[in-house]
Amino acid sequence: MYEELSPFHFIAGLGTGALSASLLQPADLLKTRVQQSSSASLLKTLQDIIAGPNTLRQLWRGTAPSVIRTGLGSALYFSTLNALRQHVARSNILTSSGLVAASQSEARYSSSLPKLSNMANLTTGAIARVCAGFIMTPITVIKVRYESTFYSYKSILGASTAIMRNEGLKGFFSGFGATAIRDAPYAGLHVLFYEQMKRRLSDLQQVVPPLPESLGRVAGTNHDVKTSRNSASINFLSSVLAAGLATTITNPFDAVKTRLQLMPGKYGNLLKAARRMVKEDGFRSLFDGLGLRMGRKAISSALSWTLYEELIRRAESRWEDKGSQVV
């Protein structure tokens, strides 16, 4: 069944990623503006945008590359993550080594994903994100520069042409090292925390008691709806908490990555950039934009993961129903 549903993981990831990017673009733009300089505060940045012409258009500046990056990035991430998790779950070698949870038969109350160990959750999340991130790095560079006030690009094509002319192909991969170091632990920690939160919240969730068999036959549909809602609530809250924790831990890499992508000539590489930021702007500069990034990541992850798991759950349910009808 999982092989047949593999393309649907790509489609589900594409849709949820594009939706969250469109809705949360203003937060992403503000984060970029705040991180581009230590003297830029959130309130001052927002006031400058509001005081200027076309406020709404300015707040959603860079939406096109953001939707492309997040939509395709989410599609690649979720489909790659699904393939890795299914492979790990089926591997007897990994099961014997403890990378797969010993019991695959435990209740999958709020999850459409296979049960893996903490180490496997961490590893598969990190690998999937780095692979997707590498492919989408050129779009990320264009997006960041398009949102920044350091560049006056008029269009995505103009930005691409300018980067190629001034920096060559290497310019499209500025900051990938910092991006990979940020995204690998973030994605791994997010999947790890997300699965842990779901397990614990599911254990605590006692709102819907089992229905008697006779009553279940009459009200089975309503019970399924309640179960679906409870599962979605658990997934939403789990993703919010997981994103908040993972974002806080990895924010320094995000701050360094932004500086590298905006001013690669000035900051050079990851270590040089981090040292220079701390020396010139203080240690606090490594956490510039944390509030915005945490809020955006929490909402984005909650929307993406909740919708993704719900779409996959419904697809699996329909596939099973079709299979039972054929039999």
pLDDT in tens, 73-108: 999 999 999 999 888 887 754 554 555 554 444 445
pLDDT at 321 over 90: no
Q: Is the pTM of this model over 0.85?
A: no
Q: Are 187 and 128 in contact (CB under 8 A)?
A: yes
pLDDT at 268 over 50: yes
**Mean pLDDT score across all residues of the chain:** 80
Q: Are 64 and 25 in contact (CB under 8 A)?
A: no
Look up residue 154 and give its DSSP letter.
Answer: -
Stated as kind and residue range, the H or E segment containing 115 is none
- 320 confidence band (pLDDT: 50, 70, 90): low
Q: What is d(CA 267, CA 275) in angstroms, rounded to the nearest whole number?
A: 9
- Give one DSSP letter per residue of 163-213, joined into a string: HHHHH-GGGGGTTHHHHHHHHHHHHHHHHHHHHHHHHHHHHH--SSPPPPH
Q: What is d(CA 104, CA 108) in angstroms, rounded to the nearest whole number?
A: 9
**Mean pLDDT lowest among 54-68, 99-113, 171-185:** 99-113
pLDDT at 46 over 80: yes
- Give one DSSP letter per residue of 283-311, joined into a string: GGGGGTTHHHHHHHHHHHHHHHHHHHHHH
pLDDT value of position 132: 92
pLDDT value of position 326: 52
Q: Are 22 and 95 in contact (CB under 8 A)?
A: no
